[in-house]
Structures are given as structure tokens and as C-alpha cells.
Amino acid sequence: MKSLLVKSATILFPGSSLYGRVADVLVENGKITSIGTGIILPEGAGEADGSGKYLAPGFFDLHANFGEPGLETKEDLETGAAAAAAGGFTGVSLMPNTRPPVQSRSEVAYLVNRSRELLVDVFPLGAISQERAGKDLAELYDMHQSGAIAFSDGNKPVADSGLMSRAMLYVKAFNGLVFSYAEDPSLAGAGKMNEGTTSTYLGMKGIPSLAEEIMVARDIYLAEYNDTKVHFTTISTAHSVELIRKAKEQGLQVSCDVAAHHLALTEEALTGFDSNFKVKPPLRTHEDVAALRAGLMDGTIDAIVSQHTPHEIEYKNIEFEIASYGILGLQTVLPLAVCAGLSPELIAEKLSVNPRNIVGLPVPALAEGDAANFVLFDTDTHWELNEGTNRSKSSNSPFMGQQLTGKVHLVANNGQYFTF
């Protein structure tokens, strides 16, 4: 790694004596060697202007989908990591929605070993059940030993309450964590969007809020019964926020995240039948968006995730009813957080600090001798997501061609750095 000097950036590293102050940071051979003001640029070093920008621990995404292994035409590790880096992420946890699913030590080890040379740290999530079928537990302990940081069936809910309870209890033995994707399939049915006035107007089958909320309530009860942790990923309704708020007030070991697009988009975006807005959980109402934003502000919602879900064009450029769910998300998380009204300090908390705390990973520090792991960003630069700036292999984003506010300028990790 060529030496790098970041000049005059506002420091947002928690615990740093310089928090909220402007400083220079010099990185040499991948390590921070000097922090202060007026640092002279070494000969041959790169320089990044941090004026009006914020230097925080590299963002960490708790919910991303790459295609590898088996679905590399959607996204492979290299292109996914490139998109993550451009979005400010130096770490991502990958859902097991691959072919085969990440359900044993071999798949976990493959991802860990294949990603060693990347700037972005890749952390697999192991499947809760074999084949993500919701019937039998997968090899949870073996996957934990091989590097899986938590467990999830990805975009498939664990409908069997007994299986979910056993999974929570099993991982408790090694302080593991289960992710809950809260959806009752019998209530969601074949719905394509949020159930409500807009779905009625468009003549489409809806997914009621209840389909999510009843599973949030169930898994809160299971976590209480088993005295275990549970993490709810991509919650989307106002009542889900309230249920989790009350669980936290009771002292239960509950955490949750929200997908960035649920902070900015509502069901009304679907009136044009653009399949790039088709996601699951579905886009909800203005009231739900307001509740999600409020939940971030008061600490009920711990983290923001990308729910990055790349698809080939043939899965999206078709009739809305049969199009696949999901949008690209890694490069638009920061602008959507800015759109939701989050301050730079809160952005660093929800994207850098809390996600790592949830899965028990250390938060990068800013001190001389530490490895450089940071992101330099601002909240006012305008830029466009287009064919030239998109780093993903796929292009299924509703924000393609739009002006976005809030930009990542630099990421550094693993002895590497990229500027944007």
C-alpha cells in the first residue's frame, strides 16, 4: 500500500480523543503512523482532501447477497466487493442465498479463503436449516468454527417455531446469533407489494404488515423463553418497530436493522409497475417510513443495511408479477441515510459501529500503530449512479440515472485503499 495522507477530516471514530475534531491521518504500509495537524506529505505518498468530510470506521453491512458460489452471473466476490467499497463498506456479511446454500463448513471456508486478498472483509452467514428448507438444522457449530459469524435462512423465513427455537438454543452454547427474517408465508401468500390502498388501486395481491409483525412477536417470545439473542433483519413496519422497542425496554436480547430503501421509498413508487422497486419486505406506507426513521433516531433500530440483491436483466426486465424481488443497495446506502435525515454522527453509528457490535466484531480504532480501516465521506456532494459509477455486475437499481446526495471519497482496509 502506497503511503496515504488524509488532510483535515472531521474524526468520527468512537472513543477517540479527537472525536468531532479536525485532524490529519497518515497511513504507511497499511498502518496508521501519525495523527495530528500539519502533517507533512511524505514523498511519493497519496493525498486525500478531508475538508468538509468525515473519517469514520469503514462501514459494515449486515445483509448483502452476492452470487458466489453458483450464481456468479448475478455477482461474484470481486464485483460485490468493488460495489461494497464504492459504498464505503470495508466489511460485509453475506446471506447464504447461493447455489448450493452456505450450509456447511466447506461453503464457509470457500468464501473465507476466496476473499482473503480483497479490500473488503467478507463474513459468511451460515444457513439455519439444511437447503434453507426450514425442516432440519444445518451444521451450525461446524460453520461457526469455520468462520460463519451468525445464522440466517436468508430471504426464506423459518416458519417452523420449533425449529427456530432449537436454533436459538443451539447457538447459545457458543454465544452465536440467529437472524430472523420475519415473514409468515401463510399470511404473505403470493403477494407482490404492501397490502393497502395502493395495492387495491393497482389490482395486485398484497402482503399485509401482519405477516411481518406476527413473526417479530413470535421470535421475541422465543428469545425470551430461551434467554437468547435474536437479530431481526430488514424490518419494515411501524408496529414491528414498536414491538422491538417494547422488547428492548423489557431488557430482552433483541436487535434489528432496516434496509436503506425502506427509509426513502413508499408503496406509491410501484404505480408505474417498475420491477426495480419490487423488494421483500415490500415498500410500505408513509407512516411506516416515518416510524422507521424515528426508530433509528431513538435507538430502537440498531443498524442500516443494504439488502444488496443483484439480478441479471432477464429477472427484472419482465412483467412485474413474475419479476424477482430485490435491488442493488451497496452504493446507495449512504445517500439514502442522508435522505432520511441522519446526521454524520448517526450514520457512523448505524453503519460502522452498531453492525459490528451486533455480530461481536471489533470496531476499527484510530490510533498510531493500528491497521487502517476507515471511510471518508460527506453528506452534501451530488453524484449520479449510472453505468460508469456502478461497480456491481448487475444494474437493477431504481436509482440508476438519478442524482444522489452523500458521497464516499475513500476507503482503506487490508493494506489497500481506493478513492472515488
Written as tens digits, the pLDDT of the chain (420 aa) is 689 999 999 999 999 999 999 999 999 999 999 999 999 989 888 999 999 999 999 999 999 999 999 999 999 999 999 999 999 999 999 999 999 999 999 999 999 999 999 999 999 999 999 999 999 999 999 999 999 999 999 999 999 999 999 999 999 999 999 999 999 999 999 999 999 999 999 999 999 999 999 999 999 999 999 999 999 999 999 999 999 999 999 999 999 999 999 999 999 999 999 999 999 999 999 999 999 999 999 999 999 999 999 999 999 999 999 999 999 999 999 999 999 999 999 999 999 999 999 999 999 999 999 999 999 999 999 999 999 999 999 999 999 999 999 999 999 999 999 999
Q: Cα 79 from chain centroid? A: 16
CA 294, CA 296: separation in Å to the nearest integer? 5
* Predicted pLDDT at 74: 98
The answer for residues whose C-beta is within 8 angstroms of residue 355's C-beta and 6 or more apart is 59, 60, 61, 62, 257, 302, 303, 305
Kindly report whether the global pTM for this prediction surpasses the value 0.95.
yes
Q: Tell me the three cell numbers of residue 113.
A: 479463503
Within a 10 A sphere around the Cβ of 145, how many other Cβ atoms? 13
CA 274, CA 324: separation in Å to the nearest integer? 12
Q: How many residues does the chain have?
A: 420
Secondary structure letter of residue 115 according to DSSP = T
* Beta-sheet pairing, 403-413 with 416-419: antiparallel
Contact 70, 96 (CB under 8 A): no
Contact 168, 253 (CB under 8 A): no
Secondary structure letter of residue 195 according to DSSP = S
- Smallest Cα–Cα separation from 48: which of 17, 22, 26? 26
CA 374, CA 224: separation in Å to the nearest integer? 36
Within a 10 A sphere around the Cβ of 374, how many other Cβ atoms? 31
Q: Cα 374 from chain centroid? A: 17
Q: Tell me the three cell numbers of residue 10.
A: 472531521
**Domains, the chain, ordered by start:** 4-55+367-419 (2.30.40.10), 59-359 (3.20.20.140)
Q: Cα 388 from chain centroid? A: 23
* Beta-sheet pairing, 150-151 with 206-207: unpaired
- Smallest Cα–Cα separation from 352: which of 14, 43, 18? 14
Secondary structure letter of residue 403 according to DSSP = E
* Predicted pLDDT at 185: 97
CA 413, CA 1: separation in Å to the nearest integer? 10
CA 41, CA 271: separation in Å to the nearest integer? 54
C-alpha angle 316/318/324, rounded to 5°?
40
The partner residues of 54 in beta bridges, in order of sequence, read 10, 377
The partner residues of 419 in beta bridges, in order of sequence, read 410
* Predicted pLDDT at 44: 87
Q: Tell me the three cell numbers of residue 131.
A: 437447503
* Predicted pLDDT at 2: 82
Amino acid at 244: I
Query: What is the phi/psi pair of residue 197, to 5°?
Result: -60, -45
Q: Tell me the three cell numbers of residue 233.
A: 433483519
